[in-house]
Structure 1
Amino acid sequence: MTEEEKSIQEELTLLVLLADRLIKSAKEAESSKSDCADLAKQADLLSLKLRSAVRLTTTTTTTTTTTAQSSLYERPVRRVAADVSKTLERALTLVRKCKRSGVLRQVFAITTSTDFRKVSSLLESSIADVSWLLSILDSAEGGGSLSLPPIASNDPILAMLWSSIASVQMGRLLRDRLDATNNLASLARDNDRNKKMIVEEGGVVPLLKLLKDGASPDAQMAASTALFYLVNDQDRVRSIARELAVPLIVKVLADSPIKVQVLVANLVAKMVEIDPEVQEEFGRQNATRPLVTLLSMDTVLDDPKLLQSSKTSIHSLVEINKELARNPFSHQSNSDGSSRGGHHKKDKDVEVELPELKLALKINCAKALWKLSRGSLLNSRKITETKGLLCLAKIIDKERGELRSNCLMTVMELVAVAESNSDLRRAAFKPNSPAAKAVLEQLLIVVNEETSPGLLIPAIKSVGSLARTFPAKESRIIGPLVTQLGHRNADVATEATIALSKFVSPDNFNCVEHSKAIIDFNGVPRLMNLLRANGRDQVHELVLLCYLALNVGNSKALEQARVLNVLEGAARSVVAQHPDLRELFVKAVNHLSLLGWSSYP
């Protein structure tokens, strides 16, 4: 049987046998009897401690879950056992030499005196290591140890991790498990090496179990915090996901007290932002449903047309939402009517904190939906199939600050996916859809009234992504975008240029009508002003100018702006950096030349 296949009890029992064999060989020594006797005493003490370890590991392994005690934390046991085994083998080899007789006996006695001191030191270290191991295995005393075992003398953090993980996994008292979890969170916050070690040393599973148990909201919050600090790397995110963390997190998100949900929603946002595979897994586990439901708490979604046109599940979601508004903690109660974790709904402290908690929860849920929808057709479809769009529109209308910003970013990602997927675009953003209309209204309000680039940029991007859904006679869209060409922030002006390009691109069926609208709204002078600005890439402005030249080349506004000169002058440098635009520039210049335009000196 290989080492990996042996149980902990088998490994420790073999060490006991090895220690007993060392004691017997030491007693049979014919030379260096005093040194061998000293080793025998050390081996005897080590054997006693190993037997205690066997008893503790056996008790821990056979303890049922009804005692609130988890399975044995094996990592430090196996590491210590491997070191003890090497030490006992070395000691046994040394002692067996002392059974030799004859003329070489004195030579052996001289040459092994240093070895005796080294082996004695190793045995002392093994005794200290096993003693430390007993302290963290004995959960009856709270588990954990602040001492530093010799095995971790070169890396003290290792001992701290082992002790904390053991307490989280095996501690009988919830207080001890909570303290140990906070220790892990603190260590994980410090640096990436600690994060890596926590994962490698098996810290993820006990943290997930503590998060799942729901015995205490404070413990769940501590576990969420520790996991949040761990998931800043794709490999670690995937390691955590392999422990079936995603369905567990989704369940906790749906069933826990609000202050736990705040942290778990933030954990979801961070995990899906880092790893696309986990992002899709959250979609398959339907994480969008509890997120949308929580985001919409206290938001009245009573549009009858929307409810009639949506799936039947919308009605149940709205009812859940109304119930949450009446009693936010009602869904957290146990069957006996008590609140989960002892947080009774009449707790005055909870009532005082509730508005802030609700806002924090909504902010994090919106952030999670934003990250979930980014580039994901699965998640975008799930969000738009529920009341998600209408909820986002309502919040953009009523709220301000980070919550509004996160909702705008979510809309931006949803429409970006819809832009590249015609089925989603037709299903979720058709012109007569009440939810789509509500979103568009809010986007236009932002574009027309806001000045902050942080709000304008996602709103402008969203309108641009929807360019192919607008009819030719939709006159409310082009004007605000043209106005933003003159925004003092260069990034806002660039996004407005990109959005207008999508309206007048040949891919857009109504490109000619939209081009005429840009001319009518005096877009050419603003565009020329952008082209005169120095120190910035102007390729987007030149592309828009090419589209206008192709669609409405006979416009006096274009001729007065000497567009042909501009395109001919910029063509060489732009095409050198963007070879894929060569054909577009050639077409635009040739088209203007065919219309009888000539270059001005």
Structure 2
Amino acid sequence: MAQHQKTIQEHLALQILLADRLVKSAKEVESSKFDCSDLAKLAVQLTHLLRSTARLVAGSATPTFYDRPLRSIFSHLSSNLHRAQTLVRKCKHRNSILRQVFAITTAADVRKVSNLLESSIADLKWLLSVFDNNGVNLSLPPIASNDPVLAWVWSNIAAVQHSDQLKDRVDAANSLASLAGDSDRNKKMIIEEDGVPPLLKLLKEGASPESQIAAANTLFNLAADQEKVAGFLPFLAVPTIVKALNDSTTVIVRTNLINLVSRMAEMDSWVQEEFGKENVIRPIVTFLANDNEIGNNGGFRSSSSSSLSFRVNKETDISSPEEKRKLQMSCGRALWILAKGSLLNSRKITETKALICLSKLIEHETGELQANCLMTVMELATVAELNADLRRQAFKPNSPAARTVLDQLLRVVNQEHNPKLVVPAITAIGSLARTFPAKETRVIGPLVSKLDHNVSDVPNEAVMALTKFVSPDNFNCVEHSKAIIDFDGVPHLMSFLKNNDNFKIRVHGLKLLCYLALHVGNSNALEQARALSVMEAAARSVVTQYPELKELFAKAIHHLNLYQAGTHTHMQAYVP
């Protein structure tokens, strides 16, 4: 028997001992014999119920017994038994002279204690009924009279843990899911009352798709924030979920499990990394690639060490196209969440050759699936922007995967109109700015063209992306600057600056203008657009709020003055 169960048995033994002592003491009392005899009867009832509870715990078929209601009941019972024992001793030692004086008070005290013992009896009867019925008891024990939800939580958790009927366990898990969906307080209560271990056990057993779906849905509802997700971790939730996903054979179970992975990873960055360490990414990529025709040149199904060699259990159900699409949408979102800000997970995703799969889905799919795949590529590129090794490994310009990804990103920028698709595509291109050689000018034109887009998010993102191309830390910044000039980028940029009221975004545009002035300051386009005047007019307000840009503005204005001095001889160059 586990140490935890021994502790329960020890608690039971103590309560039985206290109840037996009360029986003995009550029978020895000479005064108020009628009242104390009632206490003795109540104590006898308690001893019977406690011994029944002890047999129930000892005979439990599960390795661990759900003891949260038991411990709460014991806490109240122990207090009630001690109070009753004190009263009985008081009656026993009271001398005959004072007996009549305190008779009324004693009777009232006995009635109060009797009521307390009756409440404990009702609590124990409720507890036994919950476990004896192998299901949920909808009655309300006195201990939970002020908080009915607590009784429902206890009853349902006990049913999930101990019921002999799988249907009862599934129904109880679904009831917990409903309770968790009602309020944050209910979520916290279910976790604090040890509801997570039985749900993980139900998930791990995999007795039926319905049971796994019920467990996954309940855990999903509980995983509402970082604190609550942290409550899952002591019970090995991450490896349990990953194993269930690997062992799953039905599309709907996989979908629910992957949604749970996304929810937990989104709430806690440590959990996000732990899922990566448990290799959750390989089955997710496998399911994402379901029915996806991928050529051997991409290596997605090749036998090389870097290809997707993971295999999951074969599906045993016949799923509809809609269900399979939902699974793919969930996979796309999961990869997006797992990749976000995580170098470990981004490496694992690109090592499976998932980029080829993502590119094909971006090309051929629409709606949420297409958007999720784009967001995944965007997050991978964002991480690669900060890590040269990942950029070289996953986004090497001459690799088939990188070329395919770039083709689709450019196609989205050129052909799509939905900002939810265009913005992540632009962001990804900007994050990869340092990977493009000088001759790769086809990325500049589409970005320049988006500076005039009528939805502000698109030109804002385009400005930030172009700035990364011409930033001095980009080896090809001069060539990219010339390409922007060739694609008439300066007039577009000036229009952007004129029409944008967001100061923070305008600063990005002004930074872009400064870099162009430094790299191609002799351009007629800058002179015709009166770029020097624009920078001089904006410099003071920008430097006031962003002092780190003081040197950039000073150099850019000075550089333009060298080429445009004849035009601005009447002005004194502004040096912040």
Deviation, 1:587, is: 1.2
Q: Residue 5 of structure 1: CA displacement?
A: 9.5
Matched residue type, 1:512? V
Is structure 2 residue 282 aligned with structure 1 residue 289?
A: yes
Structure 1 residues 359 and 52, CA, compared in 2 at 3 Å: closer, same or farther? same
CA distance in 1, matches of 2:194, 2:101: 49
Equivalent in the alignment of 2:11: 11
Q: What is aligned with 2:574?
A: none
Aligned to 1:220: 212
How far apart, in 1, do the equivalents of 2:53 and 2:420 lie? 60
Pair 1:161 & 2:153 matched? yes
Q: CA deviation at 1:144?
A: 2.6
1:450 aligns with 2:416: yes
Letter in 1 for 2:122: A
Partner of 2:402: 436
Match of 1:572 in 2: 540
Residue 465 (structure 1) aligns with: 431
The aligned residue for residue 523 of structure 2 is 555
Q: CA separation in 2, counterparts of 1:534 and 1:592?
A: 24
Residue equivalent to 2:374: 408
Take 1:391 and 1:376, find their aligned partners in 2: how far apart are those partners?
A: 20
Provide closer, same or farther for how the CA distance between residues 166 and 305 of structure 1 changes in structure 2, counting only shifts above 3 A: closer
Letter in 1 for 2:537: G
What secondary structure does 1:595 align onto? helix
Match of 2:69 in 1: 76
Indicate conservation of the 8 Å contact 1:306/1:435, yes or no. Answer: no
Cα 1:357–1:4 shift into 2, 3 Å: closer
Per-residue deviation, 1:85: 0.9
Question: One-letter code of the match for 1:546?
Answer: C
Contact 1:57/1:137, CA 8 A, preserved across alignment: no
Deviations 1:502-536 (A, max 9, x none): 11110111111111111111111111111111532
1:380 — aligned with what? 346
Amino acid at match of 1:211: L
Corresponding residue number in structure 2 for 1:489: 455
Identity fraction in percent: 60
Q: Which amino acid aligns with 1:149?
A: P
Aligned to 1:431, the other structure's residue is in SS state coil
Of the candidates 104, 121, 124, which is equivalent to residue 127 of structure 1? 121
Residue 45 (structure 1) shift? 1.4
SS of the counterpart of 1:476?
helix
The residue type paired with residue 494 of structure 2 is M
1:275 is the counterpart of 2:265: no
Q: Which residue of 1 aligns with 2:443?
A: 477
1:529-579: per-residue Cα shift (whole Å, max 9, x none)? 111115322111111001101110010000111111100110111112222
In the TM superposition, what is the alpha-carbon distance from 1:592 to its structure 2 partner? 1.2
What amino acid sits opposite 2:128 in the alignment? L
Q: Distance in 2 between matches of 1:166 and 1:306?
A: 50
CA drift of 1:364 comes to 0.3
CA contact (8 A) 1:479 1:518 kept: yes
Q: SS at the partner of 1:299?
A: coil
The one-letter amino acid paired with 1:142 is N
Give how far 1:110 is off: 3.5
CA contact (8 A) 2:299 2:307 kept: no
Q: Report the CA distance shift for 1:214/1:93 in structure 2 as closer, same or farther (over 3 A).
A: same
Tell me, in whole angstroms, the C-alpha distance in 2 between the residues paired with 1:383 and 1:307: 12
Structure-1 separation of matches of 2:451 and 2:490? 10
Query: What are the Cα deviations for residues 9-58 of structure 1, in whole angstroms up to 9, with x where unaligned?
Result: 22112212211211111111121111101111111112211111111111
Moved more, 143-152 or 179-188: 143-152
Q: Could you tell me which of 182, 197, 205 is aligned with 1:190? A: 182
In structure 1, the residue corresponding to 2:331 is in which secondary structure? helix
Which amino acid is 1:131 matched to?
K
Question: Which whole-Å CA distance do the structure 2 matches of 1:305 and 1:270 have between them?
Answer: 31
Whole-angstrom CA distance in 2 between matches of 1:462 and 1:591: 31
- Deviation by residue 1:395-454 (Cα, 9 ceiling, x = unmatched): 101111100000000000001111100001011111111111110010010011011100
CA distance in 1, matches of 2:5, 2:104: 42
Aligned length: 563
Task: Please tell me whether the aligned partners of residues 22 and 91 of structure 1 are also in contact (alpha carbons under 8 angstroms).
Answer: yes
Measured in 1, the distance between the counterparts of 2:243 and 2:385 equals 32
CA shift for structure 1 position 72: 1.2
Does the CA-based 8 Å contact 1:504-1:515 persist in structure 2?
Answer: yes
State the match for 1:543 in structure 2: 511
Q: Structure 2 unaligned segments of length 5 or more: list them.
A: 572-576
Does residue 331 in structure 1 map to residue 331 in structure 2?
no
* Distance of aligned partners of 1:218 and 1:368 in 2 relative to their CA distance in 1, 3 Å threshold: same
Q: Aligned AA for 1:39? A: L
2:491 aligned partner: 525
Contact 2:450 2:462 in 1 (8 A): yes
When normalised by structure 1's length, the TM-score is: 0.91
SS state at 1:267 partner: helix
* Secondary structure of residue in 1 paired with 2:314: helix
Q: 1:109 aligns with which of 103, 110, 131?
A: 103
| Candidates 547, 563, 566, aligned match of 1:595 | 563
Q: 2:384 aligns with which of 400, 406, 418?
A: 418
Aligned-partner residue type, residue 529 of structure 1: S
Q: Which residue is equivalent to 1:512? A: 478
CA distance 1:80–1:303, change in 2 (3 Å) = same
Number of the residue aligned with 2:247: 255
- What residue number does 2:49 align with? 49
Q: Deviation digits for residues 478-519 of structure 1, max 9, x if unmatched?
A: 000000011111110010000000111101111111111111
Deviation at 1:4, TM superposition (A): 8.6
CA contact under 8 A between 1:373 and 1:413: conserved in structure 2? yes
